[in-house]
Amino acid sequence: MASLSLPLQNHVFSATTPLIRSNPRPFAIPTKVRMSLQESGPSIAVAGVTGAVGQEFLSVLSDRDFPYRSIKMLASKRSAGRRLTFEDKDYVIEELSPESFEGVDIALFSAGGSISKEFGPIAVDRGTIVVDNSSAFRMDEQVPLVIPEVNPEAMENIKLGMGKGALIANPNCSTIICLMAATPLHRRAKVLRMVVSTYQAASGAGAAAMEELEQQTREVLDGRPPTCKIFKEQYAFNLFSHNASVLSNGYNEEEMKMVKETRKIWNYKDVRVTATCIRVPVMRAHAESVNLQFEKPLDEDTARDILKNAPGVVVIDDRASNHFPTPLEVSNKDAVAVGRIRRDLSQDGNQGLDIFVCGDQIRKGAALNAVQIAEMLL
């Protein structure tokens, strides 16, 4: 019987090895559900369980003791029949099919947009509430696009026990990480314009990209030509424009996701947003430089205090020792870190700020946000 080994994450699945959980996360959001396996909990399914985000779904469910009475592990035909152990119980991975969602209350999807488009509506028709991590439904006007700390009201009419299924979309990872920091400031001073430059990790392109970065690093250090299968460019010791398709307006799809998703999440169609998205040779945490222009004055000290009290945010802003957020510091952490908080000297008075934000792309940028959405359904 084949075992499932996924070494790039915080835990390893196999036929005999239980979930190995990472070290405690000091930046964790304090409000947690503490119940885990119980008969009164919902039945859940994880679609795409063998992928990087699918693995992290399980890690987050375990870390937060999410209540469930049963869990289905779903993946492609290629992975069906393989075994994994989760919270000391053995499971057989099942092939994703329409019948997979019979009796399932909540399904966490991270199997790609085409799979979500095919199976998401099928699951909803069977009464399942689907939290989808792909871009398939994000801009659908009927589907809420939710960051729990930012716009929980968008899904206020969706709850377990309402007698029907529903779709809820998880935003793009870069949008989540950016808006976790920008929203508390927007609430105080109203953002008129936001300029974002992202420095995005391999994890955003999946486990295979993470493996390729590691492989390329070894190859380059050994003086060998790098293996380039996931990206056209050498990734190790290099950076390049995000690999998303470039549109007729010159922006790539990743950049336009940030523009459109920000407007939808903030329910603010007139906010001006521009983004430049770059891939950098970092394993699993994104970094973003964010410039904000405000309608009302907001000085840097007030902004720092606002961010210190914002849920899911930690401030790392030590000018004396030149210590600010780094992707490495936030990897495997729940919170988004913010630093380099300073007045934008190119704008008059206190009408603008620059900030630097880092967040774990797989965790808050994907799996944690989805599980937090699921917690709000309870």
365 within 8 A of 173, measured Cβ to Cβ: yes
Catalytic-role residue among 11, 178, 286, 358 = 286
Kind and range of the H or E run holding 40: none
Q: What Cα–Cα distance (Å) separates residue 364 from each residue in 113, 151, 240?
A: 19, 15, 24
Calpha distance 170→148 (Å, rounded) = 10
- Where would I find the beta strands (DSSP E) of 166-254? 166-169, 191-200, 240-241
Calpha distance 31→368 (Å, rounded) = 13
Q: How many beta carbons lie within 10 A of that of residue 30, not counting itself? A: 7
Torsion of CA 281, 287, 293, 299, to 10 degrees: -140
45 within 8 A of 57, measured Cβ to Cβ: no
Give catalytic status of residue 323 as yes or no: no
Kind and range of the H or E run holding 103: none
> Pairing relation of β-strands 352-360 and 285-294?
antiparallel
Structure tokens at 195: 């300029």
Q: Which residue has the tokens 């019979």?
A: 102
Nearest one of 86, 268, 142 to 194, comparing CA atoms: 268
Give catalytic status of residue 173 as yes or no: yes
Nearest one of 317, 358, 365, 347 to 192, comparing CA atoms: 347
Catalytic-role residue among 173, 178, 277, 358 = 173
> Would you name the residues annotated as active-site residues?
173, 286
